[in-house]
Amino acid sequence: MQKFSVFSLAREAFGRHLGWRPQWRSVAPKPSYDIVIVGGGGHGLGAAYYLAKQHGLRNIAVVERGWLAGGNTARNTTIIRSNYLFEESSSYYEHALKLWEGLSEELNYNVMFSQRGCLMVAHTVHDVQVFKRHVHANRLNGIDNEWLTPEEAKAFCPPLNISPNIRYPVLGAALQRRAGTARHDAVAWGFARAASELGVDIIENCEVTGIDRDPSGKVTGVQTTRGPIRAAKVGVSAAGHSSVVMAMAGIRLPLQVNPLQALVSEPVKPAFPCVVMSNTIHAYISQSDKGEMVIGAGTDSYVSYTQRGGLHIPAHTLEAICELVPDFRRLRMLRSWGGITDNTPDRSPITAKTSVPGLYVNCGWGTGGFKATPGAANLFAWTIARDEPHPINAPFTIDRFRDGTLIDEAAAAAVAH
C-alpha cells in the first residue's frame, strides 16, 4: 500500500502523478472464506477492516451488489454526533465518535472529519424541555452538550435568524461542539484500502441471491451472482436491503424501509460555520468543503425501495430553511436524491447474533447510520469474531422486540436524526 503523506504527494507531483496505484485490489471471489460480509458500504467495509486489524482474521470477503459505498453511505448528509438521550444509545454513538476522532490517522486516509459543532435548535417550550433533558443526560454520561440562549446560538452560527417574529422562533439550542461532518466516500474508501492491505477481498458487482445452511441450520455460505461462496460466518450489513437478504435465511426483521431525501445547493463561499438541525421544522443543514449547502429533508411515509420520494417533502424543508436562514433564499438547488432507510419500531439499530448459527446482522440504522460507521463496524466485527456482543452493543439485539427492552429513541429524542 502506498502510504499517503506530504512526501508522497510531493514525489508524485514531480512525477506528474503517474505513479499512483489503485487503492484496493480488484479480485474475483475465492470458493471459500472464513467470513463473508454482505454489503460494501461504510459499515460492512469497516467491519472487515476491524476483523482483520483487531481480531487477526484475514480470510475475509466483502461482497457488494453494486459499487462500493453506492448506497446509503453515498446518500446521507454526513452529520456526526453522539448526543442521544438513553445511555445505551449515547454510549454506542460516543464509541463511534471517539473512533471518528482518530480515524484519519488510523487509516492513513483523510476522512475530512470536521468537528465544527452541531446546533439542535429548539422552537417550542416542549423542544426546550426535551433538549435541556438531553443536555443533562449527556453530561451525566460524560458526553459534551450545552445549552445556548438564542443570542449565544446566533453568536455561534451568525446566519441564524433569531427574530421572535418568525413562525417557529428560535428559543435556544443544544450544542455538541465535538459533533460535525466527514467526507462520506473517504470513509468507505479509507476502510476499503486499509482492509484490502490486510488481505480482505473486496468483491463488487456481486449480489447475494441465497444463504446456504446445513441440516442443523448453521450457515455454510452464500449464493451470489458470481457463484457460490462457502463461509463459516456471514455478517449482513445491507442497510435498506437487510429484510431482503435476511429473508433468504428465513428471518423476518422488525424493519420498514422509507425513502429519505437530501439535496445540495449550488456551491458558494464559506457561509455556514456548523451543522444546524431543527427537528420540529425538519431541516438539517451544513456546508460541504466544496461549498454546497447539504440539506437533509424528512422521510416519506410509505415503504419504498425506489431511492426517491415526493417533492413536497424537500419543499417543506426548504421553506423552513428559508425562514431560519434568510440569507439562503436566493440559493439555487443543484441535486436531490433519496436513500432507503431501514427503520426499526424504536428507531434504534440492531447489531447482533441471530437465531441462525453463524449469521450476524447489523441493520436498522434508519436515518442515522453514517455517524455510527466506525463504531458499528468495530462492534459488528467484535460480535462476529467472538460470537457474542460487546457490552456496548449487547442491548441492541433483535430479541428486544420480543422481551420488551426497547431503546425508544423515537419517542424520547423526537428526532428524525
Using CB under 8 A, list all residues that contact another protein.
241, 243-244, 247, 252-257, 301-306, 310-312, 345, 401-403
Kindly tell me which of 192 and 350 has the beta carbon lying closer to another protein: 350
Given 3-state DSSP classes, what are the helix, strand and coil percentages for the chain, each rounded to the nearest 5? 35, 25, 45
In angstroms, what is the minimal distance from the CB of 33 to another protein?
Answer: 27
Nearest residue (CB) to another protein, 220 versus 256: 256
The counts of H helices and E strands in the chain are 11, 18
CA distance 257 to 343: 6
Residue 169 identity (one-letter amino acid): P
With cell 455538541, the residue in question is 176
Q: Of the two residues 120 and 255, which places its CB atom closer to another protein in the complex? A: 255
Question: How big is the chain, counted in residues?
Answer: 417
Interatomic CA distance for residues 74 and 183, integer angstroms: 10
Q: Nearest approach, Cβ of 212 to another protein (angstroms)?
A: 21
C-alpha radius of gyration, the chain, whole number: 21
Q: Which is nearer to another protein, 291 or 310 (CB)?
A: 310
The least distance separating another protein from the CB of residue 359, rounded to whole angstroms, comes to: 17
Q: Which residues does residue 350 pair with via DSSP β-bridges, in sequence order?
A: 363
| Shortest distance in whole angstroms from residue 127 CB to another protein | 24
Q: How far is the CB of 70 from another protein (least distance, A)?
A: 17
Q: How far is the CB of 274 from another protein (least distance, A)?
A: 32
Hey, what's the cell of 87? 445511555
The residue (of 241 and 353) whose beta carbon lies closer to another protein is: 241
Task: Locate 352 and state its grid cell.
Answer: 447482533
DSSP 47: H
CB atoms within 10 A of CB 232: 16
Q: Which residues, 6 or more positions from 405, have their beta carbon under 8 angstroms from its beta carbon?
A: 395
CB of 144 vs another protein, minimal distance in Å: 34
What is the C-alpha separation between 394 and 392, in angstroms, rounded?
6
Nearer to another protein, 268 or 410 (CB): 410
Pair 47, 381: CB distance under 8 Å: yes
